[in-house]
Amino acid sequence: MSFDLFLQRFVSGDSAEVSRTVVLAALRRHSQVAADRFGFYLVDFADGSSVEFSAKGLEGDESFTGCAFHVRGFSQSVIEFVFDIAKTGDMVILNAQGTGDASSPVAILTDMSQATHLPTEGLPNPVVCESSEHLSKLFGVGYQHWREFRDQVTGATLD
């Protein structure tokens, strides 16, 4: 069970190609890990935290319009990695656990210019995020609810 974040680049309301070069360079700033055959990178950080980064097509010829993070536990390293990839790739962070209000947004922009390119429906009240610290605050409420649900389902506290 993971807290899922999807990163997507939009142009005129539609999915758009992301520069593989800049996203791969951002990944390499954090890790040298190779992808498995399905395009998943298991990224470990010096603080002991880790995240599963799904980026099929990042190192190939396929279409690459976005990626995902499957988070099982947050740390500042994980948050910085998510923000770096999103900002570098000009992608919107789609918080699958978000409720769509200001305290728990679904659409988190890394630049104000992204607002004009969002789809016209389905992403209410987008929020512009200016730093990894701000991103951490935006995930706070949703992550706490997810942890409580996860712990209830599994019967154990895992963090």
The model's pLDDT over 7-22, given as tens digits with 9 standing for 90+, comes to 999 999 999 999 999 9
5: how many CB neighbours lie within 10 A of its CB? Answer: 24
Lowest mean pLDDT among 14-18, 63-67, 102-106: 102-106
Question: Between 154 and 32, whose confidence is greater?
Answer: 32
Q: Could you give the CA distance from residue 94 to residue 29 in angstroms, rounded to a whole number?
A: 23
Asked if pLDDT for residue 103 goes beyond 90, the answer is no
Residue the block writes with tokens 């279409």: 63
Name the residue ranges covered by the structural domains of the chain.
3-154
Residue 142: per-residue pLDDT = 45
User: Could you give the 3-state DSSP secondary structure of residue 97?
Assistant: coil
Burial of 79 (0-12, 13-18, 19+ CB in 10 A): buried
Asked if pLDDT for residue 124 goes beyond 90, the answer is no
